[in-house]
């Protein structure tokens, strides 16, 4: 992205990236610069969700060293082949240390079938229970599993809220997630004109439920030519949101930022 001019700095809108894997090796060579560019564009805060046990330490280090960066720790459902039973115990210990803004990235992913469904559900249930006990929100990864996740939330009477990352469900599911205190992550998918269904759904969501995200370095928006997504691209995602919503850009920026601050208690 281009540097921000002095005039742009005075008029810039402030946003929060609620889902960015700044700890991933794709950023090892220029992590500090990439984050600084995003800050110059108006990014005030960024949440790094953990996906595997061996990545938690770096996430904690980054949140301690970089202003506006916040930690979440969890065991991602797409890495079940690398998770160990002891990781659940280690997560419970990690939650007692803090400071963390959420448990995540956790959830259920049945995109490629349900061969490991019971194991996924075990890890998800345990982590959801830990979050409830620690009074923390959760960052949820959900693919082909919204009804399964909603069932777990209902059974546990989970009311701590959190964010449904890259939400692609329907308005009825959005309403039911709201009953558990959840916001819905909106990212690069809405920048693609061909994504008619998700753009139409996002246009109808209650504004009080929307938060912005990138999922960097993954899920680059249509405007990203390099192939590597970065936290600064949250502003491209935001411009797409402005194009499909009726509210002013100032209202959208203010409310989505407030939503993120509320759910993560920033």
Q: Which residues are annotated as a binding site for a divalent metal cation?
A: 19, 21, 105, 141, 165, 215
Give dist(CA 137, CA 140) in Å, integer. 10
Torsion of CA 55, 105, 190, 231, to 10 degrees: -30
Please give the annotated binding residues, written as ranges: 19, 21, 105, 141, 165, 215
Structural tokens at position 226 = 């390099």
With beta carbons less than 8 A apart as the criterion, state whether 125 and 94 touch.
no
Phi–psi pair at 193, nearest 5 degrees:
-60, -30
The phi and psi torsions of 241 (rounded to 5 degrees) equal -60, -45
Measured distance CA(154)–CA(115) in Å, rounded: 24
| Cβ–Cβ < 8 Å for 216, 196 | no
CA 35, 39, 40, 43 torsion: positive or negative?
positive
CA atoms of 92 and 131, how far apart (whole Å): 9
The whole-angstrom separation of Cα 212 and Cα 235 is: 9
**Strand order across the 210-212 sheet:** 15-17, 43-49, 69-73, 102-109, 138-143, 162-165, 182-186, 210-212
In the block, which residue shows the tokens 């993560």? 264
Task: Give the total residue count for the chain.
Answer: 266
């Amino acid at each position: 992205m281009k540097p921000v001019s002095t005039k742009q700095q005075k008029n810039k809108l402030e946003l929060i990236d609620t889902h960015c894997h700044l700890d991933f090796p794709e950023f090892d060579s220029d992590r500090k610069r990439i984050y600084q560019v995003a800050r110059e564009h108006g990014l005030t805060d960024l949440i790094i969700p953990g996906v595997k046990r061996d990545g938690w330490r770096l996430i904690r280090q980054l949140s301690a060293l970089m202003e506006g960066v916040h930690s979440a720790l969890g065991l991602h459902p797409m890495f079940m082949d690398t998770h160990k039973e002891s990781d659940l115990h280690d997560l419970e210990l990690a939650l007692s240390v803090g400071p963390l803004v959420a448990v995540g990235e956790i959830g259920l992913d049945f995109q490629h079938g349900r061969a490991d469904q019971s194991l996924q559900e075990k890890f998800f249930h345990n982590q959801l229970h830990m979050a409830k006990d620690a009074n923390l929100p959760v960052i949820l990864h959900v693919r082909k599993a919204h009804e399964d996740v909603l069932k777990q939330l209902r059974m546990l009477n989970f009311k701590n809220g959190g964010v449904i990352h890259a939400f692609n469900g329907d308005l009825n599911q959005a309403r039911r997630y709201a009953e558990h205190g959840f916001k819905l992550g909106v990212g690069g998918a809405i920048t693609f004109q061909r994504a008619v269904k998700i753009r139409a759904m996002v246009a109808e969501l209650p504004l009080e439920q929307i938060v912005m995200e990138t999922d960097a370095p993954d899920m680059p928006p249509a405007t990203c030519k390099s192939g590597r997504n970065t936290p600064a691209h949250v502003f491209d995602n935001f411009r797409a949101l402005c194009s499909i919503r009726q509210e002013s850009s100032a209202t959208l920026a203010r409310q989505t930022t407030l939503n993120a601050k509320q759910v993560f208690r920033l």
